[in-house]
Amino acid sequence: MALELRKATPCRLRSLNLDERWLQDRIAEDPSLLGLGELQIFRRERIQPSGGRIDFLMSDPETDTRYEIEIMLGVLNESHIVRSIEYWDLERQRYPTLEHRAVIVAEEITSRFFNVIRLLNRAVPIIALQLNAFQFGENVVLHFTKVLDVFETLDDEEDAPAEQVDRRYWEKRVGPTSLTVVDELIAMVPQARVTYNKYHIALGTVGYNFCWLHPRRTSGHCLVEIRVGEEKAPELAHQLEDASISVSVYRRHSLKLKITSKELAQSSDQIKVAVGIAELWSQARSREA
């Protein structure tokens, strides 16, 4: 059946007599509208010590990440940026063991303020979303475009100095059972070099680290990042998907997996291939350095 073309009219929400409260209600009904994944609303209009109210405090339970979200209609301005960073900083101090992201939502982000938040993004993890609304008959379509993501340096952030701990710290944090996947992955690497850091467990051999592990207390799974290089990442991702492993390509050169001990046992050959390629990548990169 041939598709029929319909015209949608771009518009500002206030021109439709819709305000920020209406927009917040729609986001509250379905946070996935923002395009940030399956986030859960932790608080709405949370009162801050400064006297302000943060529109949304959302969380990603899989990554222990909090999103401090500020929404405004119209054009992004200075006060919106300052308020977003202030709320991010307050929540970061309140929950220092979690990752935090400041999220700015506006209907228009001019080049001037985009440059400002892009520069700030090197120090503050800011995500900027531009809202585009379209009127289609009696309906309104909302589309959020991510115009700025968390700054990703070209250097190896995972290889930067980190606060080191020991295995007992992780056993206390997630329990010995949750470290099963970690131990099984380490066993795949001959002469593995394991570094227990406060927020992740790094795995390497003679070169750069090439695998970062984030075991979780609940659900018995582990979040794993394997750096395999841009050339190999898409192919390996398809192979792991075919093996029913939850995987995505991250930063074009890495694979992000969510695996349990059972899934690891069922697909150990495919994962071992990915780990082996990652080790070769790290060795080659070390020789080039």
Encode 135-157 in three state secondary structure: EECCEEEEEEEEEECCCCCCCCH
Pair 32, 43: CB distance under 8 Å: no
Domains detected in the chain: 9-148 (3.40.1350.10), 157-288 (3.90.1150)
Per DSSP, helices labelled H in 160-222 are: 167-174, 180-187
234: number of Cβ within 10 Å? 13
Give the residue among 131, 88, 136 at the shortest CA–CA distance from 108: 131
- Rounded to a whole number, what is the distance in angstroms from the first to the last CA of the chain? 56
| Separation between Cα atoms, residue 278 and residue 202, nearest integer Å | 13
**180 close to 165: Cβ distance less than 8 angstroms:** no
Q: Are strands 65-71 and 99-106 parallel, antiparallel or unpaired?
A: parallel
CA dihedral over 235, 241, 243, 245, signed as positive or negative: positive
Can you tell me the distance from the alpha carbon of 231 to that of 238, in angstroms, rounded to the nearest whole number? 13
Cβ count near 97 (within 10 Å): 8
Give me the residue label for tokens 């929400």. 13
Mean pLDDT by 10 residues, the chain (289 residues): 80 93 94 88 83 88 84 93 92 85 94 89 90 89 88 46 84 83 90 90 90 78 88 90 84 85 87 92 79
Q: Which residues pair with 11 in a beta bridge?
A: 133
Closest by CA to 102, choosing from 78, 75, 120, is: 120
Measured CA to CA, the distance from residue 277 to residue 288 in angstroms comes to 17
Closest among 244, 268, 263 to 187, alpha carbons compared: 268
pLDDT at 230: 87
Spatial separation of the C-alpha atoms in residues 286 and 277, rounded to whole Å: 14
Compute how many other C-beta atoms are within 10 angstroms of the C-beta atom of residue 6: 7
Q: How far apart are CA 257 and CA 255, in angstroms?
A: 6
What percent of the residues of the chain are helix, what percent strand, and what percent coil, each to the nearest 5?
Answer: 35, 30, 30
Per-residue burial over 141-162, b = 16 or more CB atoms within 10 Å of its CB, e = otherwise: eeeeeeebeeeeeeeeebeeee
